[in-house]
Amino acid sequence: MSVLDIVIWPDARLTQICTPVLEITPEIEQLLADMFDTMYDAPGRGLAAPQVGRSERIFVFDAGWKTGTPTPIACVNPEIIALSDERLTGEEGCLSIPGVPMDIARAAEVTLRWTDRTGTHERLFTGAEAVIVQHEYDHLDGIVIYDRVEQDVAKDSQP
């Protein structure tokens, strides 16, 4: 087991846009395994590469492990294909911003396409999984929950 150091805000690496992975090499597979180890140790439900100081378009998540139903998914080069119009607002935490949960509005459903060592997948996520996918995907574009709060506040203050 390799637990990596988690990058803490305001580290500039959390604001960088990540680069696509050209090939899933043994090094990338080891990074994914280490990211799962780190996420479970933290303990979190999702972790993106920038949160461990890496700049690849990779995140891992497992929405069910804390309730006894592990559903680990490793996403390499994920793409959001569709977001529902329905929005849900809920409290989100971030391993890179410990102890500062925030209310964030997210799409209730998200369709994601990604690659892993078995091929390319496309799936509709709802509920907690949809929130986690959007949160981790944001990290790949240099967006943290502070950025989402500002957008929501700005939107709410407009006539």
Q: Catalytic residue positions?
A: 136
Contact call for residues 80 and 58 (beta carbons, < 8 A)? no
Task: Give CA–CA dist 157/159, Å, rounded.
Answer: 7
Task: Give CA–CA dist 23/3, Å, rounded.
Answer: 23
Q: Who's near 46: CB < 8 A, 6+ residues apart?
A: 39, 59, 60, 61, 62, 132, 133, 135, 136
- Amino acid, single-letter form, for residue 20: P
